[in-house]
Amino acid sequence: MNISRVIAVRSLFTPRSFTKSFRFPILFPTQSVSSLTTSAQSTPMSSLVEQAKKAAAYQAVDENFPATAKVVGIGSGSTVVYVAERIGQLSNKDSFVCIPTGFQSKQLIIDNGLQLGAIEQFPEIDIAFDGADEVDPALNLIKGGGACLFQEKLVAVSAKKFVVVADYRKKSDSLGIQWTQGVPIEIVPNSYAKVIPDLKKLGAKTVNIRQGGSAKAGPVITDNNNFLLDADFGAIKDPKALHDQIKALVGVVETGLFTEMASKSYFGEQDGKVNVWSA
């Protein structure tokens, strides 16, 4: 979690007051999302992306958070930071619990003064928000860039409504997944020598065990103590069919292909606007 970024953004855009009523009894700050943006020409790419994430997240929360919500799913990644921030500004935040999708998500819930719950206690979630690595017009998603896909999927399928938040780089204009970095697949660690050739038989061009890089010698270990594979299948025309084939392999816990789950996707654009796609 990038705490320094949250603090930096907060100090730039400190909410003025909690005076605007939004679907009683929830109160949001008066600052509008569009006032957070600046001219695309004069703004560096990194802050344009950051502003896009924030705009998408704030609008998604403002337009979808149910006044009567009791259980809320909080996803993982850098865009959800702003979802948790916005939810943390609600005046009724003591009236619902938040279910995390991993370690980072748990910290976001705590840092924003929200009540932490466990999915074992609250298996029925009113609404869940999460990021995505790619979204197509049918709201097929690829997720798992942050290695949290299993708990993210558990929360998404347990939610009555699942809303995606992303910046403009995540949109795929044509149906199907174009993602070239490989489908993230969580596996039980000692199954990798069997699963990798199995994935190649299914058509994967390359399969890599995700590595910790400079932060850790050896593989990334997920929040569930598993390994992650990134399997490049090229452009994926039928994500559901591919998911079903991969999921049937012994050793596979879950895939990062999320189909028929999201009801809406909010994209922050470079010009400061937010594009909304619905299922």
Residue 100 near ligand 5RP by CB under 6 A: no
The H or E element spanning position 67 is: none
Residue 262 near ligand 5RP by CB under 6 A: no
Q: Tell me phi and psi for residue 22, to 5 degrees.
A: -130, 110
Residue 185 near ligand 5RP by CB under 6 A: no
Closest Cα to residue 102, out of 149, 166, 134, 60? 149
Rounded to a whole number of angstroms, the minimum distance from the CB of residue 96 to ligand 5RP is: 21
Residue 37 near ligand 5RP by CB under 6 A: no
Ranges assigned E (strand) in 115-273: 115-116, 125-130, 134-135, 141-142, 159-167, 183-187, 206-209, 227-232, 252-255, 257-258, 264-268
Q: With contact defined as beta carbons under 8 Å apart, do 123 and 99 qualify?
A: no
Give catalytic residue positions.
Answer: 152
The H or E element spanning position 272 is: none
Q: With contact defined as beta carbons under 8 Å apart, do 126 and 71 qualify?
A: yes
Residue 1 near ligand 5RP by CB under 6 A: no
In order of 10, 23, 59, 251, 274, the CA distances from 140 in angstroms are: 32, 30, 21, 24, 19
58-87 binders of ligand 5RP (CB under 6 A): 75-79
Residue 242 near ligand 5RP by CB under 6 A: no
Rounded to a whole number of angstroms, the minimum distance from the CB of residue 53 to ligand 5RP is: 7
Residue 245 near ligand 5RP by CB under 6 A: no
Rounded to a whole number of angstroms, the minimum distance from the CB of residue 24 to ligand 5RP is: 31
Stretch that binds ligand 5RP, among 9-17, 138-146, 208-216, 227-235 (CB under 6 A): 138-146
Residue 144 near ligand 5RP by CB under 6 A: yes
* Burial of 19 from C-beta contacts in 10 A (0-12 / 13-18 / 19+): exposed
Can you tell me the distance from the alpha carbon of 247 to that of 254, in angstroms, rounded to the nearest whole number?
6
Shorter beta-carbon distance to ligand 5RP: residue 197 or 212: 212
Shorter beta-carbon distance to ligand 5RP: residue 26 or 53: 53
Rounded to a whole number of angstroms, the minimum distance from the CB of residue 258 to ligand 5RP is: 9
Q: Which of 73, 100, 146, 251 binds ligand 5RP (CB under 6 A)?
A: 146
Q: Which of 61, 109, 148, 242 binds ligand 5RP (CB under 6 A)?
A: 148
Residue 155 near ligand 5RP by CB under 6 A: no
Residue 145 near ligand 5RP by CB under 6 A: yes
For strand 183-187 and strand 252-255, is the pairing parallel, antiparallel, or unpaired? antiparallel
In order of 21, 98, 163, the CA distances from 93 in angstroms are: 14, 10, 19
For strand 141-142 and strand 159-167, is the pairing parallel, antiparallel, or unpaired? unpaired
Shorter beta-carbon distance to ligand 5RP: residue 95 or 275: 275
116-135 binders of ligand 5RP (CB under 6 A): 130-133
Residue ranges binding ligand 5RP (CB under 6 A): 75-79, 130-133, 143-149, 152
